[in-house]
Structure 1
Amino acid sequence: MNIDREHIFKIKTEAQFNELALEVFNFQMRNIPVYQEFVQHLNPNWSSIKTYKVIPFLPIEFFKTHELIAPNKTAEIIFSSSGTTGTSTSKHFVQDVSYYENSYQQSFELFYGFASECCFLALLPNYLEREGSSLIYMIDDLIKISQHPESSFLLYDHELLFNKLEKLKKQNQKTVLIGVTYALLDFIEAYQIHFPELIIMETGGMKGRRKEMIREELHQKLCNGFGVKHIHSEYGMTELLSQAYSKGNGIFECPPWMKVMIRDVNDPLTYLEQQKTGGINVIDLANINSCSFIATQDLGKCYNDNTFEVLGRFDNSDIRGCNLLIS
């Protein structure tokens, strides 16, 4: 049985989310052996689960050691994490990449409007220099959707980026510059621009290229360098097919088919109250053919309006491609 994606991407209420989450959970228990085995060890009575709040979350490390895909199914594309020297990488075997395309296209539209009205500039040198990046796949598709002549990926040509930004500013063109943090800092050390309408979206941290910075200090530097009031951020990772977005101050909001819960770091089956710091668990219903219930290695807290904040990572966890700023 396949789950209708239209239902996933048209969730509007908590009741609808719960119903779809349970449907996805039961689907994955029948079709994803790794998840099935994990859950049965934790809760042999899993068939009696009636709310998403007690669905078991698979530790994200399983994406490094197992293929999370149904038997006899093939992956249309395999996304992989960057990892660091000497560490293993996660692999996401995506059986149907159109779920990913539906997710990021509708999510971007929800938070920022139509991609076709934007110019996208991507300053992501480290991502371009390797294969298997889900972020590059997303940005490449958004660039194609935009069809703007200036939309492009850039490596280290800061002069070209500066000239493009100046041109787009004069044209009053809605522009999104998505960049890995260290590359954005490299740019503003070479060029300064005042482009208040520019959407700066940082992702990915320093990748070992620079010393990690406190988020407030980093965002102030970027605001000064680009002449903007806020720095936006994208929270996503190889193991997810959905993204949360922050429009400033490091506070993220999920699309309706994605939800974040905070687990106790000492008791991972217990969930914390709002504004308490713990491990981030993510429900991503777009992850229909792998696992939608993932316990990440990120630390954070949730707030009463269903937003959340990322505060760092667990000790000894490897540097990853999500938001790594220390708060």
Structure 2
Amino acid sequence: MPALLKQRLLDWMGGDSSAFASFNEAALEVFAYQFEHNASYRHYCEARGVTGARLTDWNEIPALPTDAFKFPAHQPRCFPAENATRYFLTSGTTREVRGRHEFEDLELYERSILAGWSQLGLPEIRNPWFLSQSPSDAPNSSLVHMFEVLDRSIASERWMIDLEGHIDTSGFPGKAPVELFSTALALLKWTECNGPTPLAEGSWIFETGGYKGLRETMEPERFREKVAAHFSIPVNRILNEYSMTELSSQFYRWPDEEGHRGPHWTRIRVINPETGAPAGDGEPGYLEILDLANLGSVAAIRTQDLAIARGPSSFTLLGRDPGALPRGCSRAADDLLNQR
């Protein structure tokens, strides 16, 4: 990984606006590096008639489909396989090929978590509890690692799901305000298996993952109303996070916001599924995300989600492409919690 480009990205993400003249400059430098060093991605770009020398705008950078991370012999990485120090896996059953995102180091990844949280004005984390497995039990979960990064001092008893999928609520919630971090389906499991659990005033909930699980389909609004009633908190105290294993950065939305918001080193595109051209203002299409924290793999990612663009780094999520396979953190939680 180029030390100078990496350091400039770290500085830029940390608030040094002088590191790059513009997002476009940063994006084109990242693309040039990935085109040269990522053979799988370069072949994909060339098949689409794109070379590094021809690009002048970040909108021209080809987005790699997430399925490309499922081919072990052609991992989209910019470094030799033996230099990988960490990897995260997408969720899935034992019969499926799981996507794999490899990292030479996690410095940019972790900076994106912390700097993004701060830049987007999200609440201070003071008393977190995690409806999740622990990092030692789920070392290849990007979500669990994100939770760990948000508070390195988390006590072991704050991780509430064990290897067998049991939820341990001992010690929770106490009388102080808490921050409860969870997937959507783990929260649903809690509401099904436990009585009402009022949280102290000032508490809030972080939830991520889809609502179309294996056991129950629920619209986001109904889901949040159910969770808010169970924990006796206002609906507007439930923060939704959108990301995926193939990305390094996150997008967030409170219920009263129009769309998910991402940090300044990200951009989004919404693509018309019929023409392949950018969708018009207010029109739905496939969501593509450019995440410059993905320096060691591929910055431009084509998701299988449908969305409407709301700004350079903001979108309204409409849901998953009906023809795509279920995936995501909620599905992993659902599989674990129902394995008994």
- Give the TM-score taking structure 2 as reference length: 0.83
Per-residue CA deviation, residues 133-191 of structure 1 (Å, 9 max, x unaligned), is: 011112123231xx36597211143542xx4223323xxxxx32111112212323423
* Other-structure match for 1:82: 91
Does the alignment pair 1:107 with 2:107? no
Does the alignment pair 1:178 with 2:181? yes
2:229 maps to a residue whose letter is N
The Cα shift of 1:273 comes to 2.3
Please give the alpha-carbon distance, in whole angstroms, between the structure 2 residues aligned to 1:21 and 1:151.
41
Please give the alpha-carbon distance, in whole angstroms, between the structure 1 residues aligned to 2:256 and 2:115.
23
* Other-structure match for 1:53: 59
Secondary structure, in 3 states, of the residue corresponding to 1:136?
helix
Secondary structure, in 3 states, of the residue corresponding to 1:296?
strand
* Other-structure match for 1:31: 37
Does the alignment pair 1:238 with 2:245? yes
1:248 maps to a residue whose letter is P
- Out of 93, 96, 100, the residue aligned to residue 102 of structure 2 is 93
Q: Percent identity?
A: 27
Please give the alpha-carbon distance, in whole angstroms, between the structure 2 residues aligned to 1:239 and 1:99.
14
Please give the alpha-carbon distance, in whole angstroms, between the structure 1 residues aligned to 2:156 and 2:138.
24
1:184 maps to a residue whose letter is L
Q: Residues 32 and 149 from structure 1, CA distance in 2 versus in 1: closer, same or farther, beyond 3 angstroms?
A: closer
Deviates more, 1:303-312 or 1:293-302: 303-312
Does the alignment pair 1:43 with 2:43? no
Per-residue CA deviation, residues 229-280 of structure 1 (Å, 9 max, x unaligned), is: 2221111111111111112257210011112210111233x11123211111
Deviates more, 1:179-188 or 1:216-225: 179-188
- Out of 287, 291, 297, the residue aligned to residue 304 of structure 2 is 297
Aligned residues: 313
Secondary structure, in 3 states, of the residue corresponding to 2:315?
strand
The Cα shift of 1:111 comes to 3.1
- Give the TM-score taking structure 1 as reference length: 0.86
Please give the alpha-carbon distance, in whole angstroms, between the structure 2 residues aligned to 1:110 and 1:194.
27
Please give the alpha-carbon distance, in whole angstroms, between the structure 2 residues aligned to 1:126 and 1:204.
18
Return 5+ residue gaps in structure 2 as ranges.
Answer: 332-340
Does the alignment pair 1:191 with 2:198? no
Please give the alpha-carbon distance, in whole angstroms, between the structure 2 residues aligned to 1:291 and 1:182.
29
Return 5+ residue gaps in structure 1 as ranges.
Answer: 170-174
Per-residue CA deviation, residues 278-304 of structure 1 (Å, 9 max, x unaligned), is: 111000000001000011111111124
Q: Residues 129 and 273 from structure 1, CA distance in 2 versus in 1: closer, same or farther, beyond 3 angstroms?
A: farther
* Other-structure match for 1:172: none
Q: Report the RMSD for the aligned CA atoms in angstroms.
A: 2.8
Please give the alpha-carbon distance, in whole angstroms, between the structure 2 residues aligned to 1:108 and 1:242.
10
Q: Residues 305 and 34 from structure 1, CA distance in 2 versus in 1: closer, same or farther, beyond 3 angstroms?
A: closer
* Other-structure match for 1:313: 320
Secondary structure, in 3 states, of the residue corresponding to 2:159?
strand
Q: Residues 126 and 319 from structure 1, CA distance in 2 versus in 1: closer, same or farther, beyond 3 angstroms?
A: farther
Given that residues 175 and 200 in structure 2 are in contact (C-alpha distance below 8 angstroms), is that contact kept between their aligned partners in structure 1? Answer: no
